[in-house]
Structure 1
Amino acid sequence: MQHIWSITGRSLAVSTLALALAACQSMRGPEPVAKSDIPSDYASQHNAGKSIAEQGYKDFFADQRLTQVIDLALNNNRDLRTAILNIQKAQAQYRITQNNRLPTLDGTGSFTRQNNQFQFGEYKPISIYSATVGITSYELDFWGRLKSLKDAALDNYLGLQSTRDATQISLISQVSEAWLSYSYANASLKLAEDTLRTQLDAYKLNKKRFDVGIDSEVPLRQAQISVETARADVGNYKTQVAQARNALNLLVGQPVSESLLPKETVTKISNETVFATGLSSDLLYNRPDIQQSAYALSAAGANIGAAKAQLFPTISLTSTAGYGSTDLSSLFRSGSFVWSFAPSLNLPIFDWGTRKANIKISKVEQEIALSTYEKTIQTAFKEVSDALATRENLDERLQAQRALVKATNRTYDLSSARYRAGIDGYLTVLNSQKDAYAAEQSLLALQLIALNNQIELYKTLGGGVKAYTADQTYHQQSSLEKHYQK
């Protein structure tokens, strides 16, 4: 009879476990529909061909020195390293929640010495030996609570992967812009040094004219003011060069070799001549920050399922099987086998509305995640539109600025000639020189804006996840996407 009950008990346990695994269902409710309220296309004129975000950064950027600097940054930048470590942490947490759905098998051995046998008028100590293997508090996931927690952990893990991709895109953009800033800080320094040399020559000429009595002291002091102003600019731009290099070193995570720094002014940053944006809907797949918000929204839905499951009874199983004996030598002999099977039921009756409040909190968190997701889409669309708006008139602005530089330089040459001929005073030369210098500075700034705009457009479209264009990227489904595929 004991043998029959043993078989029946084991069969009941196995049947109950199979039923639990088959019956557990996610209780996540209907998912909200995102309404980002964005136009179906970009307002600015653009080429709607294949998005430049599809290109790897090593194919997009023209200078191999820059791509080498980017590679160094991807290997050494501390922010990116932290993002990778967070992914590893989330991966371990997901593994834990996944394992929580499986029974845990523990083995124990014990020895007990106690006084509980009264014989011949006195208590005599006895020894009890045991060795058992058992399942401790395994929850039958009838209502999908553990499954929902596992889904939320998966979404959080995938979200951190997207955060890591977004960090990489931002880092590539920052490194490229810092590399360009170093180049143009040097260009501005060279312009200031050339201007200083010109002003020193003018000062020497005015001093000679003053010494021989041709001019008064006023032109001499005006020339001296220009010299000191140019000298101050040289010092300022030297500081900017050092700061630009320091910023680049910080982003890279180590000092950047001189061989990887631009020696001349960079005039071309990308191999592209046509900066296509693709369809506006491509942003949903190319931008990792949008993907991260989508994973967060999916995790919020899974948390609702876990909260709802708390309203229903929790069934747990505890079972052990092993041997017990008062004699160590007979511990594993026939007749020493013992087993126990102890299911338990936790039935929620009255908790002052705590479980329902948790459901409400989960729903509010889902609404927050939805709002964040919609705002992320709107922000991404706005950033692309801003980059396109800047780019739309850049060619015209550059053309006008180059013409202005040419005109101011010609004016400066003419005014200098008239001054030497004694037709005009030195104030005319001074004003024309200031205009020419300012025009040159503005041209450098506008050229830097144009190159940075190409980087910005690449970044805002989601470019930079891949190293080479031929590399493949795969979208990993959230728990919500998997839920609707069933």
Structure 2
Amino acid sequence: MKNLIIPIMLLLLTSCTMIPEYKRPEVPIPKEWPKGEAYESLKLSEKSTILKWNDFLVDEKLQEIVKKALSNNRDLRLAALNVERARAYYGIQRAELIPAVDTTGSGLRQRVPVELSNTGKAETLSQYSVTFGITSWEIDFFGRLQSLKEMALEQYLAQEATYRAVRLSLISAVAIAYYTYATDKENLNLAKQTLKTQEESYELIKKRYEVGVASEIDLHRAKTQVETAREALARYTQALAQDRNTLELLSGEPLKDELLPEGLSNIKPPKDISPGLSSEVLLNRPDIIAAEHTLKAYNAQIGAARAAFFPRISLTTAIGTASSELSGLFGGGSRIWTFQPQAIMPIFDARVWAAHEAAKVEREIAVTNYEKTIQTAFKEVADALAVKGTIDEQIDALNGLVNSLRETYKLAKIRYERGVDSYLSVLDAQRALFQTEQQLNNLKLAKYANLSTLYKVLGGGE
């Protein structure tokens, strides 16, 4: 029997495969990034500059929070467990190619009645055996098991790439949450300062009203500004608490106060990055890599479906010893062996044809999903580049507007105090200044968040 097993193993190693030749689908996007007024100020380098995350996010406090998130975040932990599960399934499928060798020991005592006995007498029969061999091992002549193994491998690689995508999304989410906290903290400080200024103005106008210098309508107008600042103060206090909750959820543990930023002016912005000249950089995105591995998995599934049309050959072998007495189990002349090959040839089985058609449809679905993932990635990068190409100009414009409104507010106060103009001019100038300062802070947040998003949609660094 040993002489038979070796040739069978050689045949297995040289068995054919019916997996269709894989060809990567054409990339359904332009080779270059969009062009137009929104992209004119962009400086694209010949080579994409994708840094490691701790080189891209240079703020030390943010780096500490990201490290906590990478260690504790439950979504990332679930993604890692999915990778381990896929790896285990791949190990199971790969093991199907190798025969399972088992040892079996059995004993039997049986009473045979007179009517069934060959001797015409009731008797008790005993049989004991110990065997060592292979139980129903499928010999993969036509590559069915090999195809299933390749499918499991590609599914494992897809899960691994998905883990990288989740990890990258987590880093970006933590960065955006950190910058959002800094912005709301800046706006909260602005609201506190504005409230203090408005309360001082209100008290001054109240005194002027009491001596008959200011009108009652000016007093109420000053009061509206105080209440507006109070509302903003409560709103940003609430937003700040929610921002902290988001950061702690992402990091997976409570955060100490010293890890949280005091405002936009106290953080280090992320480094600038370039997507390069060619959109082919998107093929390195983890989600696109995962989609391609999924496509390869369904391509391998077609090979398994094709192999189902051919004979399935299995082998059962055993060698051992048997005796009617337990003491004679290993005595001379007790040796036994079996060799039982079996071939099953499908003649008509509608399930085989249906499975083959389903496998082809699943591959087409995977192709479509792969192409859609690439198109979505291109749009995400294009949108981020459009923001990147225009955000600095918006910030410059708002900086200029804030400076002008500060001068307007200053002059309006002087004119009101000298009786040249009404308090309505002061009110309008102050309201516009407060709103524009908040808008400027939020625009800076948009810039930092967009850089974090661009880092993610380009695929990040290792």
CA deviation after TM superposition for structure 1 residue 213, in Å: 1.0
Q: How does 1:462-473 map to 2 (within 5 A)?
A: 462-464=459-461, 466=462
Q: How does 1:165-314 map to 2 (within 5 A)?
A: 165-266=164-265, 269-270=268-269, 272-273=271-272, 275-277=274-276, 279-285=278-284, 287-314=285-312
Structure 2 distance, partners of 1:268, 1:216, is 45
CA deviation after TM superposition for structure 1 residue 404, in Å: 0.1
CA distance change for structure 1 residues 119 and 362 in 2, over 3 Å: closer, same or farther?
A: closer
What amino acid is aligned across from residue 311 of structure 1 in structure 2?
Answer: F
CA deviation after TM superposition for structure 1 residue 102, in Å: 0.5
Structure 2 distance, partners of 1:17, 1:86, is 33
Structure 2 distance, partners of 1:278, 1:36, is 16
Given that 2:33 and 2:277 are in contact with CA atoms closer than 8 Å, whether structure 1 keeps it comes out as no
What amino acid is aligned across from residue 411 of structure 2 in structure 1?
Answer: L
* 2:33 corresponding residue in structure 1: 42
Q: Does 1:95 align with 2:91?
A: yes
CA deviation after TM superposition for structure 1 residue 13, in Å: 3.7
Structure 1 distance, partners of 2:187, 2:419, is 33
Q: Deviations over 1:133-176 (max 9, x none)?
A: 11001111011000000000000000000000000000000000
What amino acid is aligned across from residue 298 of structure 1 in structure 2?
Answer: K
Higher mean displacement: 11-20 or 169-178 = 11-20
CA distance change for structure 1 residues 357 and 276 in 2, over 3 Å: closer, same or farther?
A: closer
Structure 1 distance, partners of 2:10, 2:292, is 34
Given that 2:261 and 2:267 are in contact with CA atoms closer than 8 Å, whether structure 1 keeps it comes out as no
Secondary structure of the structure 2 residue equivalent to 1:389: helix
Structure 1 distance, partners of 2:342, 2:273, is 68
Given that 1:62 and 1:268 are in contact with CA atoms closer than 8 Å, whether structure 2 keeps it comes out as no
Structure 1 distance, partners of 2:83, 2:118, is 65
* 1:336 corresponding residue in structure 2: 334
* 2:357 corresponding residue in structure 1: 360
- Please report the TM-score for the alignment, with normalisation by the length of structure 1: 0.90
Q: Deviations over 1:401-455 (max 9, x none)?
A: 0000000110000000100001111111101100111111111011111111211
Higher mean displacement: 271-280 or 363-372 = 271-280
What amino acid is aligned across from residue 175 of structure 2 in structure 1?
Answer: S
Number of residue-to-residue matches in the alignment:
453
RMSD after superposition: 1.6
Q: How does 1:26-37 map to 2 (within 5 A)?
A: 26-31=17-22, 33-37=24-28
- Deviating above 6 A after TM superposition, structure 1's stretches of 4 or more consecutive aligned residues are none
Pairing partner for 1:17 from 6, 9, 13: 9
Given that 2:135 and 2:317 are in contact with CA atoms closer than 8 Å, whether structure 1 keeps it comes out as yes
Structure 1 distance, partners of 2:388, 2:3, is 73
CA distance change for structure 1 residues 409 and 120 in 2, over 3 Å: closer, same or farther?
A: closer
* 1:431 corresponding residue in structure 2: 428
Structure 2 distance, partners of 1:379, 1:56, is 23
Secondary structure of the structure 1 residue equivalent to 2:122: strand
CA deviation after TM superposition for structure 1 residue 384, in Å: 0.9
Higher mean displacement: 451-460 or 242-251 = 451-460
* 2:75 corresponding residue in structure 1: 79
Pairing partner for 2:396 from 385, 399, 406: 399
Given that 1:50 and 1:277 are in contact with CA atoms closer than 8 Å, whether structure 2 keeps it comes out as yes
What amino acid is aligned across from residue 107 of structure 2 in structure 1?
Answer: F
CA distance change for structure 1 residues 85 and 224 in 2, over 3 Å: closer, same or farther?
A: same
CA distance change for structure 1 residues 46 and 372 in 2, over 3 Å: closer, same or farther?
A: farther
CA deviation after TM superposition for structure 1 residue 354, in Å: 2.3
Given that 2:272 and 2:451 are in contact with CA atoms closer than 8 Å, whether structure 1 keeps it comes out as no
Structure 2: any 5+ residue segments left out of the alignment?
A: none
Given that 1:270 and 1:454 are in contact with CA atoms closer than 8 Å, whether structure 2 keeps it comes out as no
Q: Deviations over 1:232-259 (max 9, x none)?
A: 1100000000000001000111111212
CA deviation after TM superposition for structure 1 residue 83, in Å: 0.4
Q: Does 1:159 align with 2:146?
A: no
Q: Deviations over 1:167-199 (max 9, x none)?
A: 000000000000111111110001111111111
Structure 2 distance, partners of 1:214, 1:269, is 49
Higher mean displacement: 312-321 or 276-285 = 276-285
Structure 1 distance, partners of 2:389, 2:57, is 21
Higher mean displacement: 166-175 or 328-337 = 328-337
Q: How does 1:415-426 map to 2 (within 5 A)?
A: 415-426=412-423
CA distance change for structure 1 residues 268 and 258 in 2, over 3 Å: closer, same or farther?
A: closer
> What percentage of residue pairs aligned between the two structures are identical?
42
Secondary structure of the structure 2 residue equivalent to 1:160: helix
What amino acid is aligned across from residue 25 of structure 2 in structure 1?
Answer: A
CA distance change for structure 1 residues 268 and 278 in 2, over 3 Å: closer, same or farther?
A: farther
Pairing partner for 1:414 from 401, 411, 416: 411
CA distance change for structure 1 residues 156 and 273 in 2, over 3 Å: closer, same or farther?
A: closer
Pairing partner for 2:385 from 388, 391, 400: 388
Secondary structure of the structure 2 residue equivalent to 1:393: helix
- Please report the TM-score for the alignment, with normalisation by the length of structure 2: 0.95
Pairing partner for 1:60 from 53, 56, 59: 56
What amino acid is aligned across from residue 28 of structure 1 in structure 2?
Answer: I
Structure 2 distance, partners of 1:393, 1:108, is 75
Given that 1:112 and 1:128 are in contact with CA atoms closer than 8 Å, whether structure 2 keeps it comes out as yes
Secondary structure of the structure 2 residue equivalent to 1:399: helix
Given that 2:48 and 2:277 are in contact with CA atoms closer than 8 Å, whether structure 1 keeps it comes out as yes
Structure 2 distance, partners of 1:72, 1:372, is 33
Q: Does 1:458 align with 2:455?
A: yes
Higher mean displacement: 372-381 or 163-172 = 372-381
Q: How does 1:435-454 map to 2 (within 5 A)?
A: 435-454=432-451
CA deviation after TM superposition for structure 1 residue 333, in Å: 1.4
Secondary structure of the structure 2 residue equivalent to 1:122: coil
Given that 2:70 and 2:251 are in contact with CA atoms closer than 8 Å, whether structure 1 keeps it comes out as yes
Higher mean displacement: 295-304 or 195-204 = 195-204
Structure 1 distance, partners of 2:457, 2:267, is 20
CA deviation after TM superposition for structure 1 residue 269, in Å: 4.3
Structure 1 distance, partners of 2:46, 2:246, is 35
